[in-house]
Structure 1
Amino acid sequence: MRTHCLTFCSALTTHHTGEDDTAFPVLAAEFPDLRPVLEELRRDHVQVAALMRSLETLLSDDSPPDRDVRTELDTLSALLESHFTYEEKRIATALDSLPPSTWTTPTFLNP
């Protein structure tokens, strides 16, 4: 479980860093009305990162997963579900409207 969780956390961190550093600035420039939405998504990224750090700490030893790990996983799962639903509803159309040449470093697509 530890290996799978840490691998997932690493991929998600790469994805969110790519969004924050690459996709969101492009969207903010092209669609200024989305700036509050992008800021909300960035705040989610900070919360997700904090939860993942907590999980990494809880999983740092070889003991079996305990109730704290399950609680953190449930919290992370709920936050990510909410985040992805909000993201899909609010920015997917804008992302789809941009030409591929807009992306110089699309790390958010391929973590």
Structure 2
Amino acid sequence: MTDDQQQPGGQPEGGPEEPFDQAAFDRAAGEKVLAAHEEFRAHIATIRAQLDAKDGEVPVLTLTEQLRKRCLDFCWGLGHHHGMEDGSFSMLFDGRFPHLAPVIERLRQEHRVVEEKLARFKAFLEDGNEHDAARVREELELAVDGMEEHFVYEEEHLLPALGVTAPSRSS
């Protein structure tokens, strides 16, 4: 290396490589999981509020389009979240936290169930059934049934291993 490729102090251009901080990486991953859960909780609350405000009838070109977009965005986002989680589980947990293997397997199974429910809900919306707010709310509740429990279970079991404190949830 020539003198013109070194920084003052003799370090190569770009400086020394920083050592990998596994704890910081783990915390960031845990915080991303928690943030995604909070975003999905807020998304569902918004959809529920919009449906409840419509008093049983959904105007064809207003809430219907918003609902389709919100729900389909939600379905896509949750599918993406779970895909990322399932891929990350191997990297973050397999081998490092063998005691969590049963937790990881349960979460993977639950992810498949959630995907099936969301696919049914998406098909319901795409089949033109979205004009009756009460029916849409019923289908939405079927789709998200068990999701909060899944999020809480995931948070209680995975976040502590990643150095993130699971939020306390009132029952």
| 2:117 is equivalent to residue 36 of structure 1 | no
Provide the rounded CA distance (Å) in 2 between the counterparts of 1:65 and 1:54. Answer: 17
Provide the rounded CA distance (Å) in 2 between the counterparts of 1:95 and 1:46. Answer: 23
TM score, norm. by length of structure 1: 0.77
Residue 96 of structure 1 and its aligned partner are, at CA, apart by 2.4
The answer (yes or no) to whether the contact 1:13–1:49 under 8 Å persists in 2 is yes
Larger of the two Rg values belongs to structure:
2
The equivalences for 1:1-111 within 5 A come to 1-22=67-88, 24-25=89-90, 26-63=92-129, 64-65=131-132, 68-96=135-163
Residue 66 of structure 1 and its aligned partner are, at CA, apart by 5.6
Provide the rounded CA distance (Å) in 2 between the counterparts of 1:29 and 1:65. Answer: 49
Q: Deviations over 1:36-82 (max 9, x none)?
A: 00010111100100011001110003441465532331133331100
Cα 1:68–1:47 change in 2 (3 A) is farther
Unpaired runs of 5+ in structure 1?
Answer: 98-111
The answer (yes or no) to whether the contact 1:55–1:72 under 8 Å persists in 2 is yes
Provide the rounded CA distance (Å) in 1 between the counterparts of 2:113 and 2:72. Answer: 17
Percent of aligned pairs with the same amino acid: 36
Residue 95 of structure 1 and its aligned partner are, at CA, apart by 2.0
The answer (yes or no) to whether the contact 2:121–2:143 under 8 Å persists in 1 is no
Letter in 2 for 1:3: K
After superposing the two structures, state which structure 1 stretch, 45-54 or 25-34, moved more. 25-34
Q: Work out the number of aligned pairs and report it.
A: 96
Unpaired runs of 5+ in structure 2?
Answer: 1-66, 165-171
TM score, norm. by length of structure 2: 0.51
Letter in 1 for 2:82: H
Letter in 1 for 2:155: E
